[in-house]
Amino acid sequence: MIIKPKVRGFICINAHPQGCAANVNEQIEYTKAQDSVDGGPKNVLVIGCSTGYGLASRITAAFGSGAKTLGLCFEKPPTERKTASAGYYNTAAFHAAAEKEDLYARTINGDAFSNEIKAQAIAAIKEDLGKVDLVVYSLASPRRTDPTTGETYNSVLKPIGEGYSAKNLNTDTMKIGEVTVEPASEEEIAHTVKVMGGEDWEMWMDALAEADVLADGAKTVAYTYLGDKLTWPIYGKATIGKAKEDLDRAASAISSHLSGKNVTATVAVLKALVTQASSAIPVMPLYMSILFKVMKEKGTHEGCIEQLQRLFTECLYSSSPRLDNDGRFRVDDKELDPATQAEVEAIWPQVTEENLMALTDYKTYNEDFLKLFGFGYDGVDYEAETSTLVDHNF
C-alpha cells in the first residue's frame, strides 16, 4: 500500500516502516560519530525501549558502548492491511542494525507492568546475559493494571489545588485558544501516582534482585521532566509532576533496599522533546515550538539521542556527574538556562495564529511529530507501494 500519515488529534494512527528505520539509523549514526562511552554498560535492560527516550537509551548503550540490550515495549505488530505501530518498526530496525554489527539484541513485547512480563525478562537475562549492569526505566503509559490486585488505574493531566487556564495551540485545528483544566480530585492524583510514579520501578528492581540477575554495582535510572514557570501548572506542579516526585522516593528506596549489591538508583531530568507521550500534554506543543526556536538560535537545541549521549557521558558514566541538590542527574540544563527561559517567556504572550510561524518553530515541532511515525525522511519514497510487513520481527 501507499502509506501516508493518518493524524487524529495528537496521535498518528499509522507508521511508515522505511521511515521508522531511517529514524533509528539516523540516531545510530549520531551515536557512532561520538566517542564511545568510557566505562559504559555491558548488559542493559531497557524498559520502554521502542520510542522516544527509551529507544535513544538503547541505541546509546548498544552503539555507543557495545552493550547487549534486552528491550521491553508494548507495540502493535503489522498485518497485511494495517501498519505496525512506530515503536514496532523502530524495534525491527534496531534489531536489523544490531544484527549487522553482531550486537546482541532481544525484545519482549508485552505489558511491562505485569508479573508475567517481569518473569519473561528475568528468564531471558538468565538465559542470555547472566546479569545486567544497567536498568533504564522509560515507560510512558496512560494506564497501569496493578499486578497484585488486578485493578486498572488511569492517569490524568490536571492541575492540583486550583483550576488552570492557559494559552494553548490545538495542533489539529491550528487554532490558538485558552485551555481550561479543572483541578484533579484526590483520587485522580493517587491514580496518576499509581501509573507514573515509582511503584513499578521498585517492583522491577526488587524482582531483578530477588532473581539474582543484577550485577554488583548495577545502576538504574528513571526519567522525569521538571520544566519551568510556563509548564509548571500543567506538568511540574500538576498530577504528572506529583507522580514524578514519587520517583525520587522510589530512587532512595531502591538504593537503600539494594545497598548490599551496591545498586544505585537515580532519577534523570531530561528536556522537553516531541514524543508520543509529550504531544498529548496541553500547553507543551506551543511551549516546545517556542523553545525549539530559542534553543536553535542559541545553538543548544538537542533531540533524544543528543540528550542520551550527554546522560551517559556527563552523568551515568562520569566520575563527576552533574547532580542537583536532590541527587538527580540534570540533562535539562540547556533548556532551563535562565536566558533561554526568559526569551521563551517573552515570546509566549505575543504568539497569535497569524505570527505562529514567525515567532515560533512550529515547523520543526510538526516535522519532529511526523518523524516519530516515520514520515518526512529524505531518501524514503513515500509515493511507492510499500509492504506493511518487515523482516526483523521480535
Which residues lie near ligand NAD (CB under 6 A)? 48-54, 72-75, 87, 111-113, 138-141, 223-225, 270, 272-273, 275-278
Whichever of 175 and 296 has its CB closer to ligand NAD, that residue is 296
148 annotated ligand-binding residue: no
b/e per residue, 263-289, with b = 16+ CB within 10 A?
bbbbbbbbbbbbbbbbbebbbbbbbbb
- Provide, rounded to whole angstroms, the least separation between the CB of residue 272 and ligand NAD: 4
| 209 burial type by CB count under 10 A (0-12 exposed, 13-18 middle, 19+ buried) | middle
Read off the amino acid at residue 344: V
275 annotated ligand-binding residue: yes
- Catalytic residue, from 235, 287, 362, 365: name it: 235
- Provide, rounded to whole angstroms, the least separation between the CB of residue 303 and ligand NAD: 11
- Provide, rounded to whole angstroms, the least separation between the CB of residue 383 and ligand NAD: 28
- Provide, rounded to whole angstroms, the least separation between the CB of residue 385 and ligand NAD: 28
Q: How far apart are CA 195 and CA 154, in angstroms?
A: 7
Whichever of 253 and 336 has its CB closer to ligand NAD, that residue is 336
Whichever of 94 and 225 has its CB closer to ligand NAD, that residue is 225
Nine-digit cell string for 361: 518553530
Residue nearest to ligand NAD (CB): 52
Q: Is 235 a catalytic residue?
A: yes
Q: How far apart are CA 229 and CA 291, in angstroms?
A: 13
139 annotated ligand-binding residue: yes
- Provide, rounded to whole angstroms, the least separation between the CB of residue 355 and ligand NAD: 25
Whichever of 138 and 239 has its CB closer to ligand NAD, that residue is 138
Q: Which residues contact 2 (CB under 8 A, 6 or more apart)?
A: 382, 383, 384, 385, 386
Whichever of 83 and 278 has its CB closer to ligand NAD, that residue is 278
3-state helix, strand, coil in the chain (%, to 5): 40, 15, 40
Q: Provide the pairing of β-strand 214-224 with 43-47.
A: unpaired
Grid look-up 506493511 returns: 388
Q: How far apart are CA 130 and CA 133, in angstroms?
A: 10
313 annotated ligand-binding residue: no
Binding residue numbers for substrate? 225
Catalytic residue IDs? 235
Binding residue numbers? 48-53, 74-75, 111-112, 139-140, 225, 244, 273-275
Binding residue numbers for NAD(+)? 48-53, 74-75, 111-112, 139-140, 244, 273-275
